[in-house]
Structure 1
Amino acid sequence: MQQPSQTPSPLPTVTPSPTLPPTATFTPTPTLHPLTIQSMRLRDYPGSEITFEEKLASGANYERYLVSYLSEGLKIFALMTIPFGEPPDGGFPVIIFNHGYIPPREYRPTERYVAYVNAFASRGYIVFRPDYRGHGNSEGEARGAYSNPDYTIDVLNAVASIKRYPRANPQKIGMWGHSMGGHITLRVMVTSGDVKAGVIWAGVVGSYEDLMYRWRPTPIPTLSTGGRRFTQQLVETYGSPQENPSFWESISPIMFVNQISGPLQLHHAVDDSVVPLYFSQRLYEAMQAAGQPVEFYTYPGDDHNIANSFSLAMQRSIEFFDRYLK
């Protein structure tokens, strides 16, 4: 694939990762940690039939609904759009929409990301936006996306559920993710083969070592309820990334892009103050090294939401999905 004209600037200089004192010891556990990609691949993600809970106001050329499905026995709600008219042969293409971090108690499925969803929906896609457990009316506890695989499991069950929907094309599923949703998107795409193309805006897509030591100004924000306690527990059990790199690589999706399910398009503001540009640069280089199709666009003078260049970034995203899903 021809690469975009915009390419990332050289990687920034980073401070070496801290190491444990020489006296530190660790004892690996006998079973796979649930965050490991191998463990994720061994799970089942059956999904369920989609239940239509409430009809919302229609868009210009699509219907909008609140729906629900099952994930590990939990009822998970989602926003779903469906184009007017008869689907093409095989069904409408689908975009699974993974939103970024929103405090679970503040989350509302019809608020925020409205323009994003509408842009994809108006172009003939079914858009399926899972709430994640513990968000809105979804059952379960919101424990975060980085310290356990819960939200990724919910999204994988969303994929399985939309594949059952008769008007959707199960062979033409794409995935979009922003910030935390970018982490989920990458994790899904190295776990399952169902997603044919992914677009990530300002994604938390570095390795866990990057998340621990190279996330500025505050490492691992909202990593879990326990914050840094979670990574300290992993260090105490498995050792630091320097002592036990194989474990930390085993839970980092970026280390598995040689087996990713489809091409990626990455977008990141140069001056993003929430998630560093470095993360997307790392993923771009990892995809290139693995010989995987990837595009990377940077936006000088923009913010975490790429608000100033929204129309351009969205146009590029739609064209990318059109290329691989239509």
Structure 2
Amino acid sequence: MRTRRTVTAAVAGLTAALLLGACSAVGPTDDRGNGTTGPRPTAYASPSRATSTSPTVAPSSTSSGPLGPTPTPSKAAPDPASIDALIATRYVAGDLRLGREQGSTSAYRQYFVTYESNGLTISGRINIPRGTGPFPAVVLAHGYVDPAVYTNGETMLRERDHLARHGHVTLHIDYRNHAQSDKDPRNDANLRAGYTVDAINAGLALQKASYVDPRRLAIVGRSMGGGVVYNALVVRPGLFRAAVAYAPVSSDTVDNFDKWVRRDASRSGAARAVIGRLGTPEADPAAWAATSPRTYFGRVTEPLLIHHGTADEECPLAWSRESVAALRAMGKSVELDVYPGGRHTLTSPQWDTSIRRTEAFLSKHLT
């Protein structure tokens, strides 16, 4: 019989994946540049990284420590995994620090890069167009790849190459616990809310770079990164001028829970433990809604473009249709481009069409 501590740690890892959208329990969901996948992960996340369930404290709005904002006890404090907690967070971004140059082309120079995100060092790759800046810039939020096999800047190669060739600084972030980024043992227990913190701080770091026009920022995410895009838009409206999501996860965490945990007999113990913490979605809808960006779509101020294939084997097209309907019900500007027969990772010629549409969308809104 497992101990309570073991169950808690396992649940934290599983819950983190399902609520922020790891789209698969059996394989990476992000594109590594050539339409293939790499080593297949064995679980949503490493349960050993989770040290406890989410505490009932909120981030401080006045101080930060090496793992983010310092918690301040409060009877009415939101759960650290909630959107309200992300909204209350005080974001502290450091300057971009360029490292080794590698992979440069005649159109841009590419560097290993790091920046500070609420006390953590986050690694990534940056492409800077050759020529005279300042340039518009794009934060690239990648999809799920097992952190144990993920390497610096290994995903979204096509997007960052194309957009850099067309005059955008592209900053591909590795997220905490990935590649050379610092470790955050609380991240899984906090339902990977730290990924959103890292994306927002990436935008703030770009604003301070001399080669970036601070008024022209966008964010582009794939799969799980599409969930990061949704979060960033509701948490920090006004930071990015436009956003694009490729095959995004659901904006409702219940969808993710039902798909990958609740109806899987092999995970019935984990499902019971998760429900023990949050309650069932039917009995405690408010607890689940508080972790869903869809609940906060009224805060969105930027236009959003979504690309989704009809044959997506991981994140159903219906999820994007529902997100679009929810955004439009709030009067928000959102476009959905549907690709007949398109899989989770679009291949040519559909990907070529999608990136041209992305480029045109960004050019329209970043002028």
Asked if these proteins are the same fold (TM beyond 0.5), I'd say: yes
Q: Which amino acid aligns with 1:201?
A: Y
Aligned to 2:357: 316
Structure 1 contact 145–180 (Cα < 8 Å) conserved = no
State the distance in 1 between where 2:210 and 2:80 align: 32
User: In the alignment, residue 149 of structure 2 is paired with which amino acid?
Assistant: E
Call closer, same or farther: CA 1:297–1:121 in 2, change over 3 Å: same
State the shift of 1:195 in Å. Answer: 1.2
Match of residue 154 from structure 2: 111
Aligned partner letter, 1:38 = D
Q: 2:92 aligns with which of 46, 52, 69?
A: 46
SS of the residue 1:136 aligns to: coil
Match of 1:58 among 82, 104, 110: 104
Counterparts of 1:1-326 in structure 2, within 5 Å, are 30=75, 31-87=77-133, 91-141=134-184, 143=187, 147-193=191-237, 194-213=239-258, 215=259, 218-219=260-261, 232-308=272-348, 309-326=350-367
**SS state of the match for residue 362, structure 2?**
helix
Measure, in 1, the Cα distance between the counterparts of 2:333 and 2:345.
Answer: 24
Distance 2:262 2:199 in 1: 22
- Whichever residue aligns with residue 209 of structure 1, its letter is V
**Any conservation in 1 of the 2:245–2:305 contact (CA below 8 Å)?**
yes
- Asked if the contact 2:245/2:307 (under 8 Å) is kept, the reply is yes
Letter in 1 for 2:89: R
Following superposition, the deviation at residue 48 of structure 1 comes to 0.2
The 1:229/1:171 distance shift into structure 2, 3 A limit, reads: farther
The residue type equivalent to 2:172 in the other structure is: R
Unmatched tracts of structure 1, length 5 or more: 1-27, 222-226
Deviations 1:83-133 (A, max 9, x none): 11111xxx3111100111111122222433222210111110010111011
- 8 Å Cα contact 1:61-1:83 kept in structure 2: yes
Closer, same or farther in 2 for the Cα pair 1:53/1:177, shift >3 Å? same
Aligned to 1:14: none
Q: Which amino acid aligns with 1:96?
A: V
Asked if 2 retains the 8 angstrom alpha-carbon contact of 1:77 and 1:138, the reply is: yes
1:160-218 per-residue CA deviation (whole Å, 9 max, x = no partner) reads 111111221221110100000000111011000201111001001330111112x3xx4
> The residue matched to 1:67 in structure 2 has which SS?
strand
What amino acid does structure 2 have at the position aligned with 1:187? N
Residue 284 of structure 1 aligns to which amino acid in structure 2?
V
Q: CA RMSD in A?
A: 2.3
In the TM superposition, residue 233 of structure 1 has moved relative to its aligned partner by: 4.3
Moved more, 108-117 or 119-128: 108-117
The separation in 2 between residues aligned to 1:272 and 1:146, in whole angstroms, is 28
Q: Deviations over 1:270-316 (max 9, x none)?
A: 11111111211111101111111111011111211111411001111
Q: How many residues align?
A: 288
Whether contact under 8 Å (2:140, 2:156) holds in the other structure is no
8 A Cα contact 1:95 1:174, kept in partner: yes
Distance 1:123 1:288 in 2: 30
| Equivalent-residue separation in structure 1 for 2:137 and 2:333 (angstroms) | 20
Report the secondary structure of 1:104's partner residue.
Answer: coil
- Whether the 8 Å CA contact 2:226–2:248 is kept in 1: the answer is yes
TM-score normalised over the length of structure 1: 0.82
Deviation at 1:141, TM superposition (A): 4.2
TM-score by length of 2: 0.74
Does structure 2 retain, via aligned residues, the 8 Å contact 1:145–1:151? no
CA distance in 2, matches of 1:293, 1:206: 16
Q: Which amino acid letter does the alignment assign opposite residue 100 of structure 1?
A: G
**Contact 1:145 1:184 (8 Å CA) reproduced:** no
Please give the alpha-carbon distance, in whole angstroms, between the structure 2 residues aligned to 1:144 and 1:313.
32
